[in-house]
């Protein structure tokens, strides 16, 4: 794939320090450096007008829109332990999107 490829980053957030935002931002930086466009679920906060944490389904609605707009999925370590990332993986699988571990995209 090339720089026209848009990848969505999927991974665990709930219960992790800083909701794992540093790992998501690092993944975005690595993928961007490899020539991909990146859709990052942590960017959903830009649509959070309240400034307060939202319910899980609020974040998932934003994340699913990103999955639908992506050409492929980059998985962070521990994704299989995340309810949301498993849902994103299922949607991507059913849509036939390529799904790989982050390092398979970023180090390819």
Domain count, the chain: 1
pLDDT of the residue at 97 = 98
CA dihedral 104, 82, 43, 51 (to 10 degrees): -160
Q: Is the pLDDT of residue 1 over 70?
A: no
In a domain, residue 1? The reply is no
Per-residue pLDDT at 108 exceeds 90: no
Domain with 57, as residue range(s), is: 6-106
What six digits make up the tokens of 31? Answer: 């993928």
pLDDT for the residue numbered 91: 98
CATH of the domain at 43: 3.40.50.450
pLDDT in tens, 46-60: 888 898 889 999 999
The pTM score is: 0.93
């Amino acid at each position: 794939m090339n720089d026209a490829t848009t990848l969505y980053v999927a991974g665990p957030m709930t219960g992790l320090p800083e909701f794992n935002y540093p790992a998501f931002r690092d993944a975005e930086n690595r993928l961007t450096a490899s020539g991909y466009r990146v859709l990052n679920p942590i960017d959903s906060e830009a649509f959070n007008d309240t400034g307060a944490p939202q319910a899980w389904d609020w974040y998932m609605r934003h994340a699913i829109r990103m999955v639908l707009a992506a050409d492929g999925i980059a998985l962070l370590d521990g994704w299989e332990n995340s309810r949301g990332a498993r849902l994103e993986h299922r949607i991507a699988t059913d849509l036939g999107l390529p799904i790989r571990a982050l390092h398979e995209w970023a180090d390819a």
